[in-house]
Structure 1
Amino acid sequence: MGSPVSLVVANLYRGNGTKSHSCKKQNQSFLYSLLLSIVLSIISVLTVTLNLLVIISITHFRQLHTSTNFLLLSLAVSDFFVGFLVFFQVMMIDGCWYFGDLICVLYGFLSIAITFSSVGNMVLISVDRYVAICDPLHYPTKVTLKIIRISVSLCWTFSLFYSTVTLRSNFGQQSRNSSCAGDCAADIGFGGIVGTTIITFIIPITVIIVLYLRVFVVAVSQVQAMRSHIAAVKHRKVNAKKSEIKAARTLGVVVLVFLMCLCPYFCISLSSQDTLNNTLSGVYVISLFYFNSCLNPLIYAFFYPWFRKAMKMIFTLQVFKSGASDANIL
């Protein structure tokens, strides 16, 4: 999942004021800073590496060019960029920004855009599984590669547009918003924080939960139906349904982990931002939020044999052999 919107705003939002001599570093213990640096550094490396493996696997092997996998690819791209954003979070542990005004604006812009695109990808994945399970006969015609590409493109386009609109008043005014030298501030106000949380978290999560509850009910009924169908003539149809239900279960785990990682952060960020910024519990909440982006590839590795085979071929450099893209890894 992408970088937290509210966290970005909290780190950027200091309110308007005049610039003083230099930023005031947070009064944190050495153990606190060391713990946060180590945890976030590990998360950053794992996120970049694991999601890069997913990107290479799906783009390289032709057998993986399916509509569902294309959604996983889009999610992996979002999570891949989160790994780089975590690096900046590591550098901001002491409360100061060392990369200048331009990078500060770019950091805030990408953070919001990637967060929104990640949530959007989760919604698209939920819709994909909803149609596959609840309307399987029309799934091949309703969910085609062309439709998925258009949906993903719109998701990313709207994410960039939303980030631009959210931070439009701060472009070119970073120095005015900063309260001190070494500060990275953007003024969107508390109303902007609440609105962003509703748009990028509450509404999408509600849609995801509703869709997956429906998928769960239908999947359970289909499992019961399959157990009663023992005739050999229906064997292939039963296997096809099992495949769809297995995919729904796997992606259901992805969504569940997504909710478990995000909910604690958003609940605390809306109730008390100081809890996130100034307490040790904030370390775990923020780290859990970021950790979601490197958990998804681990879930794929556990549930999808094709991902394990793809990783083996990548690490053994078999992907460079002639015709490797047509290899049978399913």
Structure 2
Amino acid sequence: MNLLNLFLELLIVLIAAVSLVANLLVLLCFTCSAQVRAQVPGIFIMNLSFCNILISVLNMPSTLVGIVKWEKPFGDLFCSTVSFMDTFLTTNTMLSMAALSIDRWIAVVFPLTYPSKMRLKNAALMVSYVWLHSLGFSLTALLLSWLDYSQVYASCTLHLGDPHNEGRGGFVVFTAVFHGCTFALSLFILCFAYLKVLQVARFHCKRIDIITVQTLLLIVDIHPSVKQRCLLEQKKRRQRAIKKICIFIGSFVLCFAPYVITRLAELALSVKINCSWGIISKCLVYSKAASDPFVYSLLRQQYKKALFEVCNRVLRRNSYSLSGHSSPSGMENESYTHKELTSC
């Protein structure tokens, strides 16, 4: 057995397991926590997690079967369905990340008007557009029979069976427009929104620090060590903001860019894509489904609190049931001891 294929198989299994568990935890938090449900970003995160779960359940197992057998998994109908879902879900996840960045941009740049601009109704409209956008490209590819098994990626995906087909020109245009309206558009929105967020956040941090230092100077002669600690804390806040934005944009580029560039490169008949690289680029796309819950939700305080409350409920219920089962025997033992004392 090829060691690289074995590694890729184990990698997909690991990514699928982590993605499924982590995204289910996100949906659990959304279901059980009223605080999470009340927040507008929760709508986008729920939609993102739902798509990631479907990718983990449908697309990852079919790719795994494709690597093992090196053939179309489970027939034409199943492969067409998985191809449709692959196109739809990939587009949906990219645009959901863009919607999250827009939400953060409005929250930071327009904090006073954020409640009126980003209501739950407006968030639902944005999610509706994401679904319509994704369905438009997916249905177009389905109707034009551009969804099939690709051996390069060992997956059922957007694919033109015969490279010399008469409809190749239309397929090339569609693929370019598809990736331009999904990956390129989402990346532009991410970069624009988060760079604006960083710019405004750094400006506010600087103003707050200046006001704080000036206030301290008016109250008491500030010691140089205190001033140094204030400057150090300001530097740490800037570094945290830069780190978060680098994670948001960097994870998007790292996971999607190799796959998109490969898909565009294979449009040239002279370019032959190596199967191992094609599968690796597909695994990078799948890894985004596993990392999204940690990047956008599970490491945030609200979700940690929700998970903690869920664990407390489960543990209390279990302890209650255990105490309930043990109480009759305890009563019997107490009764039996009382009889012994009476007889003595």
State the TM-score, normalizing by the size of structure 1: 0.73
Identify the residue that residue 300 of structure 2 maps to in structure 1: 304
Determine the structure 1 residue equivalent to 2:255: 261
Moved more, 93-102 or 103-112: 93-102
Q: 1:254 to 1:317 in 2, by over 3 A?
A: farther
Equivalent residue of 1:97, what SS? coil
Relative to structure 1, is the Cα distance of residues 257 and 135 closer, same or farther in structure 2, using a 3 angstrom cutoff?
same
Q: How far apart are 1:169 and its partner, in Å?
A: 2.0
Contact 1:43 1:291 in 2 (8 A): yes
Say which of 96, 116, 139 aligns to 1:164.
139
Over 3 Å counting, the alpha-carbon distance change for 1:140 and 1:134 in structure 2 is same
Rounded to whole Å, the distance in 2 between the matches of 1:198 and 1:307 is 34
Are the equivalent residues in 2 in contact too, given 1:128–1:143 (CA < 8 A)? yes
Aligned residues: 275
Tell me the equivalent position of 2:229. none
Question: Hey, what does 2:281 align to over in structure 1?
Answer: 285
Question: Where in structure 1 are there 5+ consecutive unaligned residues?
Answer: 1-28, 233-242, 322-330
| Residue identity in the other structure for 1:146 | K
Query: What is the letter of the counterpart of residue 194 of structure 1?
Result: A
Does residue 1:83 correspond to 2:65, yes or no? Answer: no
Which structure has the higher relative contact order (CA within 8 Å, separation 6+)? 1
Distance 1:98 1:60, change over 3 A: same
Q: 1:64 aligns with which of 17, 21, 36?
A: 36
Distance 2:245 2:311 in 1: 25
Is the CA contact (8 Å cut-off) linking 1:276 and 1:285 kept in structure 2? no
Check if 1:224 corresponds to 2:206: yes
Residue 39 of structure 1, CA deviation: 0.4
Distance in structure 1 (CA, Å) of the matches to 2:199 and 2:156: 47
- Are residues 249 and 135 of structure 1, via their aligned partners in 2, closer, same or farther at CA, if it must alter by over 3 Å? farther
**Aligned Cα root-mean-square deviation (Å):** 3.3
The percentage of aligned residue pairs carrying the same residue is: 22
Q: Distance in 2 between matches of 1:200 and 1:170?
A: 20
Aligned to 2:191: 209
Residue by residue over 1:281-313, the C-alpha shift from the partner in whole angstroms, topping out at 9 and shown as x without a partner, is 444433222111111222356631232233344
Q: Deviations over 1:135-170 (max 9, x none)?
A: 111111001111111211221133123211222122
Opposite residue 208 of structure 1, the aligned amino acid is L
Rg (Cα) greater in structure: 2
More helix by share: 2
Indicate conservation of the 8 Å contact 2:248/2:295, yes or no.
yes
State the 1:50 CA deviation. Answer: 0.6
**1:259 to partner: Cα distance:** 1.9
